Copies of this chain bind each other. A is one copy, B any other.
Amino acid sequence: MKIICPKNELQNGINIVLKAIPAKTTMPILECIVIEVKEGYIKLIGNDMELGIETIIKGEIIETGTIAISAKIFSDIIRKLPDNDIVIEKDETFTATITCEKSKFSIAGKSADEFPFLPVIEKKEALLLSQFTLKEIIRQTVFSISENESNKIMTGELLEINNNMLRVASLDGHRISIRRIMLKEEYNDCKVIIPGKTLNEVSKILSGEADSEVRIYFTERHILFEFDDTIVLSRLIEGEYYKIDQMLSSDYETKIVMNKKDLLSCIDRATLLIKETEKKPIIINVIDEKLELKVNTSLGSMNEDITIQKEGKDIMIGFNPKFIIEVLRVIEEEEVTIYLTNSKAPCFIRDEEDNYIYLILPVNFNAAAY
């Protein structure tokens, strides 16, 4: 194997497949990036067994062949080399020689025989989304997956297609995040659970351009993302997702509209007084035409008034501030609308068209302390 690639091609390619290199593994071969050079293409491959990534890079092929190289040392070397053409050559002992200008590295590679190459999956109908849209819907929902591996389904996101409506949802037992997108055409119905980690990594690789497309294919066990010169193949999470429609409600007693940035910076400040261990809530007290935000912890107390437009009753309700902050951070609109019922019932942050729906459960608090 011998190739000549511009440094930036190699580095971009490595940065993409690095997303599928596990931080920890008992299988040393998974710590490697595979360079596969065949007639007509140079491919980099990483695979952590749940998530596999292949990307094609530009370069001159002098000799075909395949080698596995430690991802860490390979990416470190390429990053530090001058910005020029890099020659990578494999000899019969699987030693990789990496040459650039007057610099020459030799590192021990491995045969890729034991490497789990990505299975070839049968591509049926492709769901088409712009890179921008896919990146946005991931960003706007993935924060509320559960990190607790004991409930596997909660670590993933629901992706559901009904006719021309795409819905993506995540929940962690305290909150639900839902994004809905009207598709340009009708598709077959589909309902899968995608690992949150896959979506996080895909999101990092996507350029986010509105005029680049992603083609998404589903099989019984896999989801395949195809974009630019890259494919990302991920296992799906098996099982039945929660019946989220039953948890939603459009009833409310109080509807408040306010400037999103005002509310966000106010809660952000209030959070200073809340220690992780103490788990004190922020109190939202809606009286007349203002929202009073209050916090009272061992570190001190804080209150601040925010101007709102209100419909309905006054209400006092407590929340974990993190849950509200994370929602406000992903909403693009300048104004945000919150629907409340009573101090025990979930609150909803949603837009008029239900393009997004965020449900957050309130927290009990001792009203006398505020």
Contacts and interface: CB of A to CB of B under 8 A. Distances in A.
Nearest 4 CB-CB pairings of A with B: A107-B300, A103-B304, A80-B269, A76-B272
Contacts of A269: 77, 80-81, 103, 105
A268, A300, A302: residue with the most chain B Cβ atoms closer than 10 Å: A300
Interface in A286-328: 299-306
Interface string A134-178: 000000000000000000000000000000000000000000000
B272 A80 contact: yes
Interface of A: 73, 76-77, 80-82, 102-108, 265-266, 268-269, 272-273, 299-306
26 contacts: A73-B272, A73-B273, A73-B300, A77-B269, A77-B272, A80-B265, A80-B268, A80-B269, A80-B272, A82-B265, A102-B304, A102-B306, A103-B266, A103-B269, A103-B302, A103-B303, A104-B302, A104-B303, A104-B304, A105-B273, A105-B300, A105-B302, A106-B300, A106-B302, A107-B273, A108-B300
A305 B268 CA distance: 54
A107 B299 CA distance: 6
A106 B268 contact: no
Contacts of A107: 273, 299-301
A136 B259 CA distance: 47
Contacts of A80: 265, 268-269, 272
A8 B76 CA distance: 41
A105 B301 contact: yes
A102, A108, A306: residue with the most chain B Cβ atoms closer than 10 Å: A102
Nearest to A299: B73
A299 B80 CA distance: 16
Contacts of A266: 103
A94 to B, nearest CB: 12
A299 B303 CA distance: 58
Contacts of A265: 80, 82
A77, A104, A272, A304: residue with the most chain B Cβ atoms closer than 10 Å: A272
A102 to B, nearest CB: 5
Contacts of A104: 302-304
Contacts of A302: 103-106
Contacts of A77: 269, 272
Given A76-B272, A80-B265, A82-B265, 7 more contacts: A73-B272, A104-B303, A105-B269, A105-B300, A105-B302, A107-B300, A107-B301
Contacts of A272: 73, 76-77, 80
A301 B106 contact: yes
Nearest to A269: B80
A304 B105 CA distance: 9
Given A268-B80, A272-B77, A305 B102 contact: yes
A73 B295 CA distance: 14
Nearest to A298: B108
A106 B300 CA distance: 5
A67 B268 CA distance: 26
A68 to B, nearest CB: 14
A302 B302 CA distance: 59
A272 B266 CA distance: 46
A240 to B, nearest CB: 43
Nearest to A268: B80
A102 B301 CA distance: 14
A77, A103, A106, A302: residue with the most chain B Cβ atoms closer than 10 Å: A103
